[in-house]
Amino acid sequence: MDDFPKKLREKLTERAAKNALRELTISHIPIDFSSNDYLGFAKDQNIFEGASRLLKENNYTLNGATGSRLLSGNNALYENVESGIATFHDCPAALVFNSGYDANLGLLGSVPQRGDIILYDELIHASIRDGLGMSNAKAYKFKHNDLADVHRLVESNRSTANNVEVYIITESVFSMDGDSPDLTAFVDFCKKQNCRLIVDEAHAVGVLGNTGEGLLQELGLHNQVFARIVTFGKAMGCHGATVLGSVTLKQYLVNFARSFIYTTGMPPHSLATILLSYQELSQTTSLAALKENITYFKEQVAVQGLKFIDSNSAIQCCVISGNDRVKGIAGQLREKGFDVKPILSPTVKEGQERLRFCLHAYNTKAEIAEVLRLLAIFI
């Protein structure tokens, strides 16, 4: 007998009526314009074999961590990975979390304190919003990439009391628009206003920078922010995340970040894959190929007379209002062999539904030109 709660069933029915019901699928569509595997590292044989070789050479034979890192789950491989990450990102310290979601929950759920103020971009990732929900600080959203609105909120909400911190949170590349804030202006503002800047670089690492270090390092701003969040499930092609910051911040998170303290550590194979992915990133030619494809894609958008959200990242979005319409066009592209995902409301605001093209180093120019030619016809 199906006794699923009525209120929950009604929510599913309502979602289905809006053609926005989420379902798990396995894609067999040959041409990938949907995955976050920007550099192709997820399927890189050298990384796969190198990680296995590293484990054998160092006699890491465990399938799992055996416990949280504060109990039995820490090991020398963790220390090597965090040290290597800190060096690559020119940062005093790095602390690895099991996922980007865990990293944002841990950082934002523990750092801002009661009486502090948090200002966050209105398009910030859901994991950051959930982390803010765990905090005792007051949080206010500002208009997307709008520093003037940030200034207004600082002026209207900052307390004259001592020890009140103001944290400003943004992303270097936004996952649903692919655009970036003026990080130089944000850093300058935070200096003048004595605020602490936190930047999520999930979709910038492996894509931006001379060797994929991210946008902050490309701009030379990385040592002027309070914390950076880097995730490995995008361009790095593996799993996990890290918070970059001071040695004291790392010590604080080890003691107070609940998503770090109360979870089993990552298995050795995951850590070895992270290490090999960073080694590959330092010497790969895939980054240059990706940047070339981004430039070519934007050129072809102009050739076809299409309108996309302005972006210099691997995420390129064409707004097509309405769940039915955007799903229909995605289906037409799918029939032609192109995997392009429709982004539906409520993931984005109603009326802002879109096709989200994720570009990769392994996409060919012929594929890019053809998918945009077809889009111009279908739209």
Q: Give residue-wise pLDDT tens across range 262-307.
A: 999 999 999 999 999 999 999 999 999 999 999 999 999 999 999 9
Q: Does pLDDT of 1 surpass 50?
A: no
- Judged on CB neighbours under 10 Å (0-12, 13-18, 19+), 155 is exposed
Q: Give residue-wise pLDDT tens across range 101-157.
A: 999 999 999 999 999 999 999 999 999 999 999 999 999 999 999 999 999 999 998
Show the tokens assigned to 378. 């279908």
Nearest to 184 by CA among 153, 225, 144, 242: 225
Which is more confidently placed, 255 or 25? 255
Q: Are 56 and 50 in contact (CB under 8 A)?
A: no
- Say how far apart CA 115 and CA 279 lie, in whole Å: 42
Helix axes 247-256, 100-110, angle to 10 degrees: 90
Q: What is the pTM of this model?
A: 0.94
Q: Does pLDDT of 87 surpass 50?
A: yes
Give first-to-last CA distance, the chain, whole Å: 45
Per residue in 239-273, is it b (16+ CB within 10 Å) or e — as a string? bbbbbbbeeebbebbeeebebbbebebbbbbbbbb
Q: Give pLDDT, residue 160.
A: 66
Mean pLDDT value across residues 336-352: 94
Residue 223, Cα to own-chain centre: how many angstroms?
20
Q: Are 235 and 41 in contact (CB under 8 A)?
A: yes
Of the ranges 147-161, 198-212, 363-377, which one carries the lowest mean pLDDT score?
147-161
How far is the CA of 373 from the CAs of 166, 274, 295, 305, 306, in angstroms? 47, 37, 16, 10, 10
Mean pLDDT value across residues 4-12: 94
Q: Where are the domains of the chain?
A: 46-281, 285-378
Task: Please count the other Cβ atoms lying within 10 Å of the Cβ belonging to residue 379.
Answer: 15
Kindly report the CATH number that applies to the domain delimited by 46-281.
Answer: 3.40.640.10
User: Per CATH, the architecture of 285-378 is what?
Assistant: Alpha-Beta Complex (3.90)
